Amino acid sequence: MKPPLLSAELQQQHLEVTRRYFMQLGAAGFAMMNTHPLWAKDSDEAILADATEDMEYLTHPNEFGTVERGKPLPYRLPLEKRLEIGMERATWKLDVIPDPKSNVLMSNPLSREKGNAFNFKNLMALAKTHSVKFLKIMSCNNMSKPLGMGLWEGVPLRHVIWKTNPQANIRRVFYYGHHNNDPKQRFQSSLPVGRVLEDAPGDNPVILCYKLNGKWISGRRGGPVRMLVPDAYGFKSVKWLKSVVITNNHQANDTYAGGNNDIDSWMKTMCRFLYKPLRNKAGTPIPVTGLAQVGVGGLSKVQVWINPQDKLWPKEDPYFTKAPWQDAKILPPPTKWGGDLPEGKLPPDVRFFTKDGQPKHWPMRYTIAHWATLLKDITPGKYDVYCRTIDTNGIAQPMPRPFRKSGGNKIQKSPITVEG
């Protein structure tokens, strides 16, 4: 099976952690590693020793998948031009203003026009007392695979909004990034003001993000400052942030709303295959591995099911709820997180982690979890293998939100031939 188009680093990380898992299964897993072509080429003693090492979960900043728009892209402009338009830390400025078409009461708007726009020096002053760090998977709502996972650092947007002294008639926050002064290129998104000003227990805040994996966020990743919405798909985390507009308008203004997208859909829990053979010999366990995207509903199980291709499933059960699913193993978190962090170690102040860099619970919402299993005693024939998640509410993928344009979570299937 050809692996999905994930970053080379993420694929390698997955190989390392699943290799370690199969070794722990004993004879069956070890035999599979030595015979299956995916691992056979790496089965010498040195690579097997590496398999016992902790894998890396964070994506190197240069390895993230990229979804971007703009002609020209601002980070590809010459340095002189980037300085001129505020796409460098030294000249970055942010307007935080009331919507002129609304009746917002605000006594201290921050703007270029008034000469008091919020700048990077102001942001760093707030960061001394209000900076936060947390893990987040970046995922596109119209793609079936994640773009990567990072350690994001920034200042909660609410601290900047309060500097404008907002007083009344506020229902939503509009925001947009650099768009070359071309209305057709403008990319914008929005949030209910309640989501910006307050976090539910266990949730991370909406932040003005300036670091990724401990380093200044690059222009390609949306720097010098981007919006970062932890529980949402990537289109909410607008790059190259320039303006925040406070409004009494109750309607969203998201660019993505024009494409029939559900712009208020929070990230879904779902899983995908990473590696599974197209052919396998009868009597040899079949290795199946993958990634799970842990969404708003959390993750309690990953399950797989193998079904003969000539056995048609009843149409009245489109999500295979009555199929004989079996649980896969959700693999534990690492001690070395990768992502180009020094020694792969997380800093001591990451939200919902202990001081020694371990999560207080796992799997953790809005992150990646790896999983693996062996399918045994499969007789010769042609089959389809399916995978799905069960969230912490006991709800199986693709429910409770199976609809397109609200985040990809279709149950994936992949063929395999078991040869006699």
Angstrom CA distances, 121 to 109, 126, 128, 165, stand at 18, 9, 11, 20
Q: What is the pLDDT of residue 40?
A: 47
Mark which of 259, 286, 319 sits at the end of a domain: 259
Q: What is the pLDDT of residue 47?
A: 28
Q: Is 13 within a domain?
A: no
Q: Is 105 within a domain?
A: yes
Who's near 272: CB < 8 A, 6+ residues apart?
4, 144, 145, 290, 291, 293, 387, 412
Q: How many separate domains does the chain show? A: 2
In angstroms, the CA 265 to CA 141 distance is 9
Please state the length of the chain: 420
Q: What is the pLDDT of residue 351?
A: 97
Same domain, 408 and 289: yes
In angstroms, the CA 346 to CA 151 distance is 8
Does residue 290 have a pLDDT over 90? no
Query: Are the CB atoms for 59 and 9 separated by under 8 Å?
Result: yes
* 364: its two tokens: 């953790």
Q: Is 70 within a domain?
A: yes
In angstroms, the CA 20 to CA 51 distance is 5
Nearest CA-CA partner of 259 in 404, 400, 398, 146: 404
Same domain, 284 and 239: no
Between 30 and 278, whose confidence is greater? 278
In angstroms, the CA 319 to CA 397 distance is 8
Q: Is 272 within a domain?
A: yes
Q: Is 18 within a domain?
A: no
Between 15 and 252, whose confidence is greater? 252
Mark which of 201, 224, 259 sits at the end of a domain: 259
Over the stretch 155-204, which tens digit does the pLDDT of each residue have? 999 999 999 999 999 999 999 999 888 888 889 999 999 999 999 999 99
Same domain, 95 and 208: yes
Residue 323 structural domain: 268-419
Report if pTM > 0.85. Answer: yes
Nearest CA-CA partner of 152 in 231, 83, 269: 231
Same domain, 347 and 298: yes
Does residue 20 have a pLDDT over 80? no
Q: What is the pLDDT of residue 42?
A: 43
* Whether residue 72 has a cis bond before it, omega within 30° of 0: yes
Q: Which residue type sits at 276?
A: K
Mark which of 259, 286, 316 sits at the end of a domain: 259
Q: Is 24 within a domain?
A: no
Portion of the chain with pLDDT greater than 90, in percent: 68
Indicate the pairing of strand 301-308 with strand 326-327. Answer: antiparallel
Same domain, 244 and 281: no
Half-sphere exposure of 6 (CA within 13 A, CB side): 29
Chain-centroid distance, C-alpha 233 = 7
Return the H-helix or E-strand segment holding 119. strand 118-119
Does residue 123 have a pLDDT over 70? yes
Over the stretch 293-338, which tens digit does the pLDDT of each residue have? 999 999 999 999 999 999 999 999 999 999 999 999 898 888 788 8
Does residue 46 have a pLDDT over 50? no
Q: Is 14 within a domain?
A: no
Strands ordered across the beta sheet of 270-275: 270-275, 286-293, 368-375, 329-330
Q: What is the pLDDT of residue 153?
A: 98
Does residue 82 have a pLDDT over 80? yes
Between 93 and 289, whose confidence is greater? 93
Q: Is 36 within a domain?
A: no
Q: Which of 11-20, 252-261, 298-307 has the highest mean pLDDT?
A: 298-307
Lowest-pLDDT choice from 45-54, 76-85, 382-391, 392-401: 45-54
9: confidence class by pLDDT, cuts 50, 70, 90: low
Same domain, 100 and 233: yes
